[in-house]
Amino acid sequence: MTSSTTGTDNRASSSALEVVVGVGPLSIPDVVAVARHDARVVLHPDALAAVAETRRVVELLADDPEPHYGISTGFGALATTYIQSEDRERLQLSLIRSHAAGSGPEVEREVVRALMLLRLSTLMTGRTGVRPATAQAYADVLNAGITPVVREYGSLGCSGDLAPLAHCALAVIGEGEVRTADGVLVPSALALAEAGIRPITLAEKEGLALINGTDGMLGMLALAITDLSALYRTADLTAAMSVEALLGTDAVFAADLQALRPQVGQADSAANLRAILAGSPIVASHAGPQDPTVQDAYSLRCAPQVNGAGRDTLAHARQVAGRELASAVDNPVVTLDGRVVSNGNFHGAPVAYVLDFLAIAAADAASMAERRIDRHLDVSRNKGLPAFLADKAGVDSGLMIAQYTAAGIVSELKRLAVPASVDSIPSSAMQEDHVSMGWAAARKLRRAVDGLTRVLAIELLTAARSLDLRAPLQPGPATAAARAMLREHVAGPGPDRPLSAEIEAAVALVAGGAVLTAVEAVTGPLR
């Protein structure tokens, strides 16, 4: 997916090649830089000193005959079981081993890297009680490009993303499997040795501190926010191309009409449509009283309303993500006045909700785009274009089945829009009796983002062919730039040919941001 710079930027000492952890909350661009672009992680020395100071609090409590959760007790339903000092190292090791219970396909490298960075960020707040060496080990693993093998299933999104984080901790202690920077699957001990990293030996509370966070779902939220920020601008582009190619009107996007309903995202989307359609000879060719169309179909006329609502949902998600990035999520947590206190901040509800909201909005944007795709192909609605945009309708099927592909994706997106966060299943002998399912919400959102990307790519293909078939009328400068970028990779109208490779080429242009860059070179930055 594309990597735009979205989110609240409070990076302080970060750059494109380096992210400093411990000088304040990480930003969404920080997460993307490390997760996708292998930016180097540097731990701020003042923050490391604060981590060491907090560690002393934990060590004092470890000597206390009174039980303290996570330090001298068991976990979950075993929280009342006192653990003798000679068994506490084994306690932490057993916690990581037992919780590394993931199943299913491997999770993507960028997700695992985001997860590890965000856990490290919490460790560096000085509120978890780990040793500085443990935090440094996480930074070293990230900087070596070592990626623990994390499995698809295992997190309920409460008490943290337990299994995914446990697999990361397992790798840092020299157990389990990892991928090297080259993607080779090897035992963790071998990868650490080759990178010159000494496996850590867990001390009191450290095992718990390494797995008790919302880092997996938050990392996937940060990546999705980045992708969707670009995709909503792309959705405005493909909508504008469809309006133009289907001889729609741009009059409904006028600023004064949009101001009658002062939704921020809607105004931004409409402004983009106006900018993209500016100077279009095709739009000018049928503008004015001679245009027999009283009103365009909703999928054309209401594009700013739908794409704009998605933007507003994205803005809310960005706000929630910013707060979560500023959080120290652990249980128990070491407070600023030196107490070690149990809490419920590991519950993933705030993140889970917005992950679900974004999947709903993505499904709706894709659904509207698919309706525009279908309109291009239907001779009763496409205003003079050939059936299915075929070279010789009947002999050729044109883009008929490309619409089927889009429709199949949209159908799946509607299923993915069913919220995960309304589900809950009790665990740990009813001690953990309500969970967020935020990890599941994040996993399906990643699939939804991919689906939206593909539907927009198919609309790009379809609208570009329609524009070609409007010749000798020519599109406006911005839409012409989008079409020209596509034509560098995909041929124009002609007899039937296999479409799969062409669709994938368009997907790459959308996901990589090339088509959006070409348009913004004409319009300036879109909103």
| Closest alpha carbon to 158 in 112, 230, 213, 80 | 213
d(CA 313, CA 319): 10
The pair phi, psi for residue 209, each rounded to 5°, is -65, -25
**Cα pseudo-dihedral 452, 457, 458, 459, rounded to 10:** 90
d(CA 491, CA 105): 36
| CA 55 to chain CA centroid, nearest Å | 34
Is residue 424 within 8 Å of residue 434, measured between CB atoms?
yes
In our burial notation (b when 16+ CB lie closer than 10 A, e otherwise), range 296-323 reads beebbbbbbbbbbbbbebbeebbebbbe
Which residues, in sequence order, are bridge partners of residue 15?
18
Give SS3 for 75. coil
Is residue 207 within 8 Å of residue 83, measured between CB atoms?
no
- In order of 99, 186, 316, the CA distances from 72 in angstroms are 18, 34, 40
Query: Looking at residue 2, what DSSP letter applies?
Result: -
> How many residues are there in the chain?
527
What region does 392 belong to: left with phi over 0, alpha with psi -120 to 50, or beta? Answer: beta
Q: Which of 69, 298, 353, 404 does the annotation list as catalytic?
A: 69
For the purposes of burial, counting CB atoms within 10 Å of the CB of 344, is it exposed (0-12), middle (13-18) or buried (19 or more)? exposed
For the purposes of burial, counting CB atoms within 10 Å of the CB of 16, is it exposed (0-12), middle (13-18) or buried (19 or more)? exposed
Instruction: Identify each DSSP E strand in 123-262 by its residue range.
Output: 147-148, 151-153, 177-179, 185-187
Which residues, in sequence order, are bridge partners of residue 186?
178
Packed helices 438-469 and 400-416: angle between N→C axes, nearest 10 degrees: 160
Q: Catalytic residue at 69?
A: yes
Give SS3 for 183. coil
Run of H or E residues at 266: helix 264-277
In our burial notation (b when 16+ CB lie closer than 10 A, e otherwise), range 211-237 reads bbbbbbbbbbbbbbbbbbbbbbbbbbb
Q: Which token pair is 458?
A: 């198919």
Is residue 252 within 8 Å of residue 260, measured between CB atoms?
no
Catalytic residues: 69
